[in-house]
Amino acid sequence: MRTPQQPSLFDEMEIGGAPAAPRGGEPRVRPGPAGSSLPNPPDASPQPSLFAGEEPTVVLPEGYRVVATGAALAALVARLTAVPRFALDTETTDLDPMVGRLVGISFSPAVGEAFYVPVGHSVGRQVPWHRVAEALGTLLGDPARAKIGHNLKFDLRVLERAGLRVSGPHWDTMIAAYLVRAEGGHGLKECARRYLGREMQQFEDLIQQGRLAIQQMEVGAVARYACEDAEATFALREALAPRLAETDQEAVFRLECELVPVVAQMETDGVAVDVATLEELARALEEQLVAKAEACFAAAGQRFNLNSPRQIGAILYGSLGLPASRMTATGPSTDEMALRELAGQHALPGRILEYRELNKLLTTYALALPRAVSPITGRIHPGFHQIGARSGRFSCAHPNLQNLPKDSANTIRRAFVAAPGHVLLSADYSQIELRILAHVSQDPALLAAFQAGEDVHARTAADIFGVPLAAVTPEQRRVAKGINFGLVYGMSPQGLAAQLSIPVPEAERYASAYFARYAGVKTAMADILRRARAQGFVTTITGRRREVSGLKAPDGRARGQAERQAINAPIQGSAADVIKAAMVRLAPRLPEFGARMILQVHDELVIEVPEERAAALREVVVSIMEESPAPGFRVPLRVDTQIARAWS
């Protein structure tokens, strides 16, 4: 693997005496407010060809064209102007759009037809970038023309960095492919194989063939590859559109495509982090960790690798002879629940738990997060994956900021801060999944509880224990809260019992008391299961589909798991639909406040806004998020907000 510290052979190479393109060595730090995207044109100086005097080695297939002259560029614009939609694809020097520079853009206005516009090659003839941008800008910004792309988020970010804004409507073939079929890969090449029966040239083959970085390769070779990408993408749209219709997922597809530019913006803007706070925390944790490790070794009577579950198991269940309660696939478990059970019998298990807590904070957060800060912007730019979760939720990675510790005892979230002069506005849905359940079930008692604005856990407690609302004890509310969480997860009495640390028969009594009071919920769940068994899938309020297999499995455990998935997916997935739709409605309102959406954590949105506009924006955010998400959705939605310098 290459690292920025180890430039390849080719970085030293200069062609035709022109200076090599500037590379990542000198990061231009862009401090301050969330990334106002400075123009960042590709490294595009036309240079004498490395291959001057040689015959072109690549013959383009019929229908593919290189756009390397002003006349060809005009012809491309005319051709694209004549069609209602076209596919586009970008070639870049890096897969990270924060780092990669534009090498070329390919377009396809029809099946069998594609154009490649080289803009960042270091060899061969090409039209200067400012002329390309000028010629294509209007077209790409035209809201009357649909842009088709495979993972458009990437191309939008790269083009934006190069100074070209691409407006919708967007038609993302990767998202379409995922909605049509979640299993298997969703790369362009795989999709072309599956839906077009085509075997495409792999990127690795292109690179290996030239043994050069893409921007240094002969334009013709890249053109052949890039044209195929754009053209296959165009063809994919035609193959996938009818499948989206067959599965009744046009509405959710439209939602996801409208979300693409919103997510692109969120990733590009990133979030500011106070590295000094994290470094200070890391130092403190390291100190505590050493002491805790020594305490563990003292209790164990020997030294061992505290990060190895296997070695911990050998000590606890071998040397110390403690009884193993829970098993994993490969041996006795040392997870938190297992160690808690042993805590009364020996000092070691409790100390291991304390060690693990510190170690998690140190390695996963305090040490790892500073490494994720971009040297280019000084901010962290996590990837938000619209199709990352089967339920319809986002997933978040590199780093995952959706699972930062929430415990007020630590300072991890406090290290996430607003830019100078700004604050973070956090807005989260209250009880969104239970409200979805109320809507889906139309259970009168649950609907009434929300419409009355009651504390729903207390209401549930009052109902299942048969006491007045005002008389509910904290313990009763705790049990009711467990029930309500359990409902969303497709609860089993066993799971409920384990979660609440109560006997199974008691959990069974609570569950039946609940379903007696909320009979609509019981019948709604039975309906979902019946339909799931008949159709093989469940759906959300927006029509997002999730296939569920195993509902007819003879193995009770497998069947139970499938049933819980079938119950949970419409609830979790509808909640995802609700917040995604709110993001789409909210995004166009943010510029007037100078604000940017920077994080989404399932039921929470975090927005960075100039301090003096925060109060005004809060009203807008709340009113948009609380809007009814669908016709006939009568459960009131409630959004709580916080405004602070930091995310905590």
Q: Which residues bind DNA (CB under 7 A)?
A: 305, 307-311, 313, 326-331, 333-339, 353, 356-357, 360, 363-364, 368, 385, 388-391, 393, 395-400, 402-407, 482, 485-486, 489-492, 494-496, 498-500, 504, 557, 561, 564-565, 568-569, 572, 601-604
Q: At what angle do helices 219-246 and 203-210 cross, to 10 degrees?
A: 180
Q: To the nearest whole angstrom, how small is the minimum distance from the Cβ of residue 190 to DNA? A: 16
Whose Cβ is closer to DNA: residue 561's or residue 641's?
561
User: Is residue 55 within 8 Å of residue 442, measured between CB atoms?
Assistant: no
Q: To the nearest whole angstrom, how small is the minimum distance from the Cβ of residue 331 to DNA? A: 6
Spatial distance between the Cα atoms of 457 and 356, rounded to a whole number of angstroms: 32
First CA to last CA distance, the chain: 38
Whose Cβ is closer to DNA: residue 235's or residue 597's?
597
Whose Cβ is closer to DNA: residue 82's or residue 327's?
327
Q: To the nearest whole angstrom, how small is the minimum distance from the Cβ of residue 183 to DNA? A: 11
Strand, helix or coil for residue 553: coil
> Beta strands 596-600 and 545-547: pairing type?
unpaired
Q: To the nearest whole angstrom, how small is the minimum distance from the Cβ of residue 90 to DNA? A: 24
Return the residue matching tokens 């510790």: 405
Q: To the nearest whole angstrom, how small is the minimum distance from the Cβ of residue 516 to DNA? A: 18
> Beta strands 146-149 and 85-92: pairing type?
parallel
User: Is residue 462 within 8 Å of residue 470, measured between CB atoms?
Assistant: no
Please enumerate in sequence order all residues whose Cβ is within 8 A of that of 413, keeping only pairs 6 or more positions apart, or say none. Answer: 404, 405, 406, 646, 647, 648
Q: To the nearest whole angstrom, how small is the minimum distance from the Cβ of residue 514 to DNA? A: 11
User: Is residue 605 within 8 Å of residue 625, measured between CB atoms?
Assistant: yes
Whose Cβ is closer to DNA: residue 385's or residue 414's?
385
Spatial distance between the Cα atoms of 94 and 103, rounded to a whole number of angstroms: 10
Q: To the nearest whole angstrom, how small is the minimum distance from the Cβ of residue 556 to DNA? A: 8
Spatial distance between the Cα atoms of 238 and 53, rounded to a whole number of angstroms: 42
Whose Cβ is closer to DNA: residue 20's or residue 367's?
367
Length of the chain: 648
User: Is residue 430 within 8 Å of residue 639, measured between CB atoms?
Assistant: yes
Whose Cβ is closer to DNA: residue 393's or residue 422's?
393
Beta bridge partners of residue 149, listed in sequence order: 172
Whose Cβ is closer to DNA: residue 155's or residue 428's?
428
Dihedral over Cα of 552, 555, 560, 565: its sign: negative
Whose Cβ is closer to DNA: residue 56's or residue 388's?
388
Q: To the nearest whole angstrom, how small is the minimum distance from the Cβ of residue 87 to DNA? A: 27
Dihedral over Cα of 139, 141, 146, 150: its sign: positive
Spatial distance between the Cα atoms of 185 and 490, rounded to a whole number of angstroms: 29
Side chain identity at 490, as an amino acid letter? G
Tokens matching residue 18? 């022109």
Return the residue matching tokens 């916080």: 642
614 to 403, 408, 426, 582, 608: CA distances (angstroms): 26, 24, 11, 18, 9
Whose Cβ is closer to DNA: residue 18's or residue 347's?
347
Whose Cβ is closer to DNA: residue 103's or residue 639's?
639
Dihedral over Cα of 285, 291, 293, 296: its sign: negative
Q: To the nearest whole angstrom, how small is the minimum distance from the Cβ of residue 316 to DNA? A: 10
**DSSP secondary structure code for residue 592 in this structure:** G
Whose Cβ is closer to DNA: residue 5's or residue 501's?
501
